[in-house]
């Protein structure tokens, strides 16, 4: 046996460790980038869904009811849950839901008055 | 000597991989920042457009149409002080203004600006309270991100809704 010879794998162990570490580092970067990308796409879809739902609720520029069939259909097509409420009314939005507010003309009580419409969206 | 060379090769490879990973992280953070800006832009423009439509239906504290009252004042050539008084007094359109800032994602840094022949000022809150001034918002807002929506109210006056962040 040659002096200092550990074995075919043993001899290459120092370089194998650094190569494995390097590959680990590289693929962690790839995974992180991919996760960021997917998260951003998901956020964009949530926002797009929220804006589309708001458009469905404010079809004529006024709001008579915050939950419409068309808004339900939009939410379903984006695979998300939503809740819409005026001012500080009770709502079922989870803490982590995305909230977007709009100024609307509320005609639900007969007389038109300004109100804050909040649309919150979250993933199914 | 052979072992040292192998370790050196491994370290060089690690350096290259670390560089590539850093580049990826940098690219993904840039992408993340630009989509956040895009999201904010879409939402704020949607908010601004809807708010201006809603203001068409708004009535002031006296039950008069807000838009018509403003239009009448501009046709009569009132001063910025009169507009400030109208927007901030309980006998004017204080409620409309409060609803606007309450619903606005920009909150207290929401401004209504009026531009036309002989008219060029913005109404909103500053350090001295509510006012309509040519230099509103304050100079320090110059570097802030602003989202603007506009509508023409008379033949020569345009209203701009500005949201500062």
Domain edges within chain B: 41-164
Q: How far apart are CA B6 and CA B1, in angstroms?
A: 9
Of B24, B96, B102, the CB nearest to A29: B24
Q: How many helices (H) and strands (E) does chain A have?
A: 2, 4
Whether B26 has its CB under 8 Å from any CB of chain A: the answer is no
Q: Of A30 and B163, which is predicted with more confidence?
A: B163
Answer yes or no: is pLDDT of A70 > 70: yes
pLDDT of residue A76: 92
Kindly determine whether residue A114 and residue B95, on different chains, have CB atoms separated by under 8 Å.
Answer: yes
The alpha carbon of residue A69 is apart from the nearest alpha carbon of chain B, in Å, by 21
Residues A121/A48/A88/A97 CA torsion (nearest 10 deg):
30
Residues A42/A47/A49/A51 CA torsion (nearest 10 deg):
-170
pLDDT (tens digit, 9 = 90+) per residue, B88-103? 999 899 999 999 999 9
- Locus of tokens 């920009």: B106
pLDDT (tens digit, 9 = 90+) per residue, B42-66? 889 989 998 999 999 899 999 899 9
pLDDT (tens digit, 9 = 90+) per residue, B112-162? 999 988 888 999 988 888 889 887 787 778 889 999 999 998 888 899 999
Of B14, B95, B103, the CB nearest to A116: B103
Boundaries of domain holding A43: 9-123
- Number of separate domains in chain A: 1
Asked if residue A2 belongs to a domain, the reply is no
| CB B93 within 8 Å of CB B66 | yes
pLDDT (tens digit, 9 = 90+) per residue, B145-155? 999 999 998 88
pLDDT of residue A92: 85
| CB B112 within 8 Å of CB B161 | yes
Asked if residue A4 belongs to a domain, the reply is no
Asked if residue A61 belongs to a domain, the reply is yes
The alpha carbon of residue A56 is apart from the nearest alpha carbon of chain B, in Å, by 12
Cα atoms in the 13 Å half-sphere on the side-chain side of B19: 6
Residue B141 DSSP code = G
Query: Angle at the Cα of B102 (from B73 to B99), degrees rounded to 5?
Result: 35
| pLDDT tier for residue B86 given thresholds of 50, 70 and 90 | very high
- ipTM of this predicted structure: 0.79
The number of residues making up chain B comes to 165
Of B7, B43, B55, the CB nearest to A100: B43
């Amino acid at each position: 046996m040659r002096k200092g010879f550990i074995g075919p794998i043993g001899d290459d162990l120092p370089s194998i460790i650094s190569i494995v570490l390097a590959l680990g580092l590289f693929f962690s970067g790839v995974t992180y980038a991919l996760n960021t990308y997917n998260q951003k796409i998901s956020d964009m879809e949530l926002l797009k869904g929220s804006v589309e739902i708001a458009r469905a609720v404010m079809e004529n520029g006024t709001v008579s009811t915050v939950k419409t069939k068309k808004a339900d259909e939009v939410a379903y097509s984006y695979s998300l849950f939503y809740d819409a409420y005026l001012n500080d009314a009770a709502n079922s939005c989870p803490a982590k839901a995305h909230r977007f507010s709009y100024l609307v003309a509320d005609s639900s009580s007969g007389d038109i008055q300004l109100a804050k419409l909040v649309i919150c969206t979250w993933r199914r | 000597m052979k072992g040292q060379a192998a370790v050196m090769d491994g370290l060089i490879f690690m350096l290259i991989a670390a560089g590539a990973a850093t580049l990826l992280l940098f690219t993904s953070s840039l992408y993340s920042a630009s989509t956040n800006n895009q999201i904010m832009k879409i939402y704020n423009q949607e908010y601004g457009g809807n708010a201006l439509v809603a203001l068409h239906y708004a009535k002031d504290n006296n039950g008069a149409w807000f838009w018509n009252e403003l239009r009448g004042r501009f046709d009569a050539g009132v001063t910025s002080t009169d507009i400030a008084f109208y927007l901030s007094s309980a006998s004017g359109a204080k409620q409309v203004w409060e609803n606007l800032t309450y619903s606005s994602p920009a909150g207290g840094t929401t401004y209504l600006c009026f531009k036309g022949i002989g008219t060029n000022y913005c109404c909103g809150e500053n350090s001295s309270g509510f006012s309509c001034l040519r230099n509103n918002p304050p100079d320090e807002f110059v570097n802030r991100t602003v989202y603007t929506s506009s509508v023409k109210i008379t033949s020569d006056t345009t209203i701009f809704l500005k949201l500062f962040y």
